[in-house]
Amino acid sequence: MEKQEKKREPILMPRLNAVLDYIEKLDFASRQAKERFKDLDSFCLFVGYPRSGHSLVGSLLDAHPEVVMAHELNALRCVKAGFSQNMIFELILRNVQLFNKKGREWTGYNYKVEGQWQGRYRKLKVIGDKKGGNTSLMLKSKAFQTAVERIFKVPVKYLHVIRNPYDNITTMAANSGGDLDFAINRYAELANIVVEVKERGDPARILDIRHEDMISGPAAQLQRTCGFLGVEPEPDWLAACVAIVQPVANKTRFTNQNWTSERIKKVASLIAGIEFLKDYDFNS
């Protein structure tokens, strides 16, 4: 009698089956959840650069009772994968619950706002995703941006957090192997994409937030952001958010000895050509 070899299932099949099962359950949940999303006024995306202060702004907004803001979900990758609007919204809700359950710690900082609405909501008016760098790279395609804005049945709004480019680039380099030239080029690419995004559509749909202003005057910047998103800056929420913002911005550019005069001039040239970067320089 011949020995019969047991048929081996490809290693990836169990994992793929689990993914497909999850997607099926997600699709079912999204079709059952229309009531939960009926009050939505906008879908919010962050555009810009890694290490610019997006995590702080995203976490403060997620603490608002009418806002849910995912942390690093990469919602546009889900758009590209063919997920429906409500499937993406369901993923956002699961993302914030998980991030809150894990303590809201990220890159050495804790973004928990005590006594507020992180990981839950009272009435859902704004939903979004904090994933600035990758979102910007995907929006480089005008056709893709147009497709994104068609998929969502509510207006798409963009938050653009700006930090002193020299600090931003220094921190980007520190988190990607220390290559300052690569970080300079990547920052320039992302900044020019933001310029294009601004030029394509309604300028009222994108809000610039200077990280330094958010640090030095968080109440005013949060009130301004609430006005942009169409929610009220409720006093308890505002006070709790202000309480966790450290009052001094980190000037990381002074910690990196690789800022040669040539590199400083290269970034200065970029700053000079982009309106929203004006007034930034290396020494201030």
Which residues constitute the domain of residue 261?
Answer: 35-277
Question: Helix or strand or coil: residue 273?
Answer: coil
- Residue 11 in any domain: the answer is no
Structural domain contains residue 236: yes
* Per-residue pLDDT reduced to its tens digit, 64-91: 999 999 998 999 999 998 888 988 998 8
The 3 state secondary structure assigned to 186-232 is: HHHHHHHHHHHHHHHCCHHHEEEEEHHHHHHCHHHHHHHHHHHHCCC
Within 10 Å of residue 179's Cβ, how many Cβ atoms?
Answer: 14
CATH number, domain containing residue 129: 3.40.50.300
Residue 1 located in a structural domain: no
Q: Answer whether residue 29 is part of any domain.
A: no
In a domain, 266, yes or no: yes
What are residue 109's phi and psi, to 5 degrees? Answer: -120, 150
Asked whether residue 18 is assigned to any structural domain, the reply reads no
- Structural domain contains residue 79: yes
How many whole angstroms separate alpha carbon 137 and alpha carbon 49? 10
Domain assignment present for residue 23? The answer is: no
Model-level pTM? Answer: 0.87
How many domains does the chain contain in total?
A: 1
Tens digit of pLDDT for each residue in 163-206? 999 999 999 999 888 899 999 999 999 999 999 999 998 888 99
Q: In angstroms, rounded to a whole number, what is the distance separating the alpha carbons of residues 117 and 119? A: 6
